[in-house]
Structures are given as structure tokens and as C-alpha cells.
Amino acid sequence: MKRTILAVVVLFAAITSFGQKLPADQIIGTWQCPDYKIEIYKSGDTYSGKLLWSKDMFEADGKTSKKDRRNPDPKLKERLVQGLTHISALTFKDDEYVGGKLYSVQDGNTYSIKGKLNSINDLETRGYKGVPMLGKTFKWKRVQ
């Protein structure tokens, strides 16, 4: 009988620990996927992401950051890609990050973005125009 009660308690603890909600600020940190590396930081009541690295960020010498040539704003075409704000205005609501904007240096467009922490070290984001179903998902791992 004691073993049964102990087993039920252990099983309940295991199930509830998997369902625990992560605090909003757990998204803060450095994240990497195959094509990008970003640093997420808090900016007021929202979260933003700075572009640290991308597979096509540098000129042929591998050291010089490319410029933001595809930006529709002529004043911004000379800024360096490395370190620019790639994600902005993400807000935490109902265990998800929503309402954000994703600036793409590849095409100069701004997309909507949403995300969810699947665990403390796994982040999934989806960038899209219009409806999320037509977007692209990125799976990120926290960089320790």
C-alpha cells in the first residue's frame, strides 16, 4: 500500500513538472539555429533580439560585416548587419510570445513573429506575413 501511494506521488510530481509554465524572462539569452545566432533581451515590457551571426552575414573575407543594402529605408542601407535589431516588440501572453516583428536582412522585409519556449533550452519561433500557417518555423537551442 505504501509503495502504491509513493508511486502515485512520484508519478504526479513527474507529470506536473513537465507541465510547469516557464516565466516570461526565460527567453532572455543567446539562441542559435543552423542559420542564425541571436541575443534576446528585454526592452521595457517587450522582448527584442539582436543578430549576432548568420550564415551570410560577412563579406568574402569572412570578417567584414555586410551592410543592410536591401533595407527599404535609404538612410539604413549603410548600417552593418551584425548587431542590428532582428526581432522587436515580442510580448508574453498566455505562455507564448506574440505580436513581434522580424526584420529580414535577406530581403529587407518585416514579418510578424511569434514564439514559444518548449523548455528552458528550446525555443520555437514562426515568422510570417498575414497568417502564421504560411510562415516559416525556426527551432532554436540556448547557447550556454
Q: What is the CATH number of domain 28-142?
A: 2.40.128.520
Q: Would you give per-residue pLDDT tens digits along the chain (144 residues)?
A: 545 443 333 334 444 344 568 899 999 999 999 999 999 999 999 999 999 999 999 999 999 999 999 999 999 999 999 999 999 999 999 999 999 999 999 999 999 999 999 999 999 999 999 999 999 999 999 998
Q: Are 27 and 97 in contact (CB under 8 A)?
A: yes
Let me know: does 27 contact 114? Beta carbons within 8 Å.
Answer: no
What does the domain layout of the chain look like in residue ranges? 28-142
Q: What single letter denotes the amino acid at residue 51?
A: L
* Residue 128: burial class (beta carbons within 10 Å; 0-12, 13-18, 19+): middle
d(CA 47, CA 29): 11
